[in-house]
Structure 1
Amino acid sequence: MADLTAVVHGAAELATATGELGGDDPAGIHSGAAVAVVDGEVAAVGPTDEVTREYPPENAAHDVDATGRAVIPGYVDSHTHACFAGDRSDEFEAKLRGTTYGELLASGGGIHRTVRATRAASDEELVDNLLDQLDVMVAHGTTTVEVKSGYGLDTETELRMLDVIDRADRRHPVDVVPTFMGAHAVPRDYEGSSDPVDADDYVDRVVDEQLPAVEKQGIAEFCDVFCDEGAFTVDQSRRVLEAGAGRGLTPKVHAEELAHRGGAKLGAEVGAASADHLLHATDEDVAALVEADVTPVLLPGTAFGLGADYADGRAMVDTGAPVAVATDFNPNCHSQSMGFAAALACVEMGLTPAEALVATTRNGARALDRPDLGVVREGAPADLAVLDAPSHVHVPYSYGVNRVATVLKDGRPVVGPEWTGERDTDSEGGR
């Protein structure tokens, strides 16, 4: 028998995120609207009087009165490095005093510091850390998040990180999408050796040792690589992505963040799900991504944290690119808030609030090959956020303030008055 999971009604504004970037109504706005949820999926969207006549709120397991408030899809954060150990807040302070990220790396800080801390942490510490981050994310409206490995840089720790990501997914209401990123950086050393590590030699290890083990483990969905200055070349990155694809992992690529090195065109060449960062991408790069149906993922929080120039989101949208926006949450970009990312996308990248909404929801789902997420339409999973505001515009307008009051995952409250705060047990069953 069908379960009337929830009825969200009386919304001053319902943003379905079903329009197109650059169009007249990207956010797909409905006024005075309601959403009925049956068995965790959207069963009806429309005027409150029509929806509630067919689906009376008093018959629902969850009666959500959204009078005077806006309802939006749950955010889909398509790029994070949220699984890690350690604290690098002192490096933030050092950068404010003029220390460059390159200088931090040269002194053993930056990613290498996080690698050491992550290798030393227990699985339980990593799980608890990630669950804490997911708590903050869902409180800010995120209902699906991608999390990468990449702070292990050896087979054992990369597998541990993916297992931690999987365990957190099974325990937390937020859906967690696992990405293998053994090619995040060239490690400083190998166990038992003091010789400097050669990048080509490390790529051999990623291809010949890490990827077969990742395939056997069966957790990761994507394979990412940092194709940029000081990381991996286009040829090295191609080796990793093609080897990953041969083992069933869809390619993703960090591209054109620190300098223009050809990573965006590589993403187009290998049919990546997304090419991310793109601070130094050219018009030609963007055209190649659009032609290859690769989602450009912009990460304004990274530019904010580095004090760098921002990607030209307005120009990308105007060329028809299906731009997504994500947080890039990591120890060097310490913001879990998609609302803040949306505000930066508006102020610094030229997107409108409606475009930023689509970029943080439907297009984020596109970057994860999950076309049913990030929208409010019949048949879609009922992942919703109710704002303590009358319009989606208040998210970027109220920058620095969390406007999310209630979050529904599959139509069930996971943030708000009805949420108990309890997590699932760490069982063997998948979500």
Structure 2
Amino acid sequence: MTGRKRPVDKEQRPINRSLRDVRYEIRGVLAHRAQELQRQGYEITELNIGNPGLFGYRTPETMRLAMIENLGQSEPYCHQKGIFPAREAVVMQQQNRGVLDVTADDVFIGNGVSELIELCLRALLNNGDEVLVPSPDYPLWSASVTLNQARPVYYDCRPENGFQPDPEQVEALLTPRTRAIVLINPNNPTGAVYDRDRLAAIARIAERRGLVVFSDEIYDQMLYGEAPFTPMATLVRDTLCVTLSGLSKIYRACGYRIGWAVFSGKRTDAHDYLQAVELLASLRLCANVPGQWAVQTALGGVQSIQQLTAPGGRLYESRQAIIDGAGQSEFLEVRAPAGAMYAFLRVDTQRLPGFDDQAFALELLEKQHVLIAPGSSFNVPYRDHFRVTTLPTPDEFARVFERIEKVLSAMAARARPRSVGASPG
């Protein structure tokens, strides 16, 4: 006998139970398979994640310089809420938008919006609580609700309604356990920009029931055409509103991991909750300090995103290439995204009966080396959509749509019934 212990069966090593119901397929099985193919030497066109740096977009130089010039002040921990210049810059942005009741004390800087979502929900939720979440949603919201022992309850933003929320359905879903409502505007994955009247109606519902409103506005300036963006905090007065945004998308600085949460509206009944948020912020000490020095420069400088989203700009033209590609397809349709950096395409199931988004995504990856996100990844009850990011160039999209059409045509050919008397082969 060597004295070695016998290996423990995997069933005796349970993971945290709450993780069993957590899904984040954007970086899941398909992404892992894409990595395997890359290791075998294949070039994969990655359309599954909105990662501007991957497609040659650069963070504005002034932001990089601001970070470099302040590296000497970035070595100690900072305040748990973030450095004052960054928080004050966020306040100025909010005030310029008409949110006048905030100070630097109401702003928390985090390691991206992702960390702040988890932190804000952990401070709020107890076992069995419910949070209203849009369907489709950015799946981190559903995952974070679940991880905190609560239950996401979905309100539909249906394709036939332009992916807009229905305030009447939102109100009908409320129960005594409902604690909060989440809005993602401009929306990921659909690119919808919610109209002001619907947002105002949802604000009144939240106020009547004392719900916390979480407004994920990370794409707030990424708008096309005449799409009007309404900050939710300008509409919420008589309950707590939490606005979340950051540097990742508008400023093409995903790797800096800088986001912020701004607390506005009625705070008289939220003292304990805000203290809990600060406690959690303190436990993680502070957010990445070097990246925080870029915030003041970003928010106070030229908003270069407008050059990218205007006609002739790269994001605008890539969006148009998607619209054109879907229009020329035998199988696809798309509602033109009004904002964000995604398109949510639908496959015509009349032409492709039995279509399954997961099976399609896998076949597209294996045969054409294009990685997309199946629509069902975004907590919808249908399986005929998929999401692509609008970040590649128009020329790249022309090649992508050729590959998509090949796979869909092959699937359609396999689905056609054989003629009577045909040889079985």
Q: Name the TM-score, length of structure 2 as normaliser.
A: 0.28
> Which is richer in helix?
2
The structure with the larger Rg is 2
Q: Name the TM-score, length of structure 1 as normaliser.
A: 0.28
> Which is richer in strand?
1
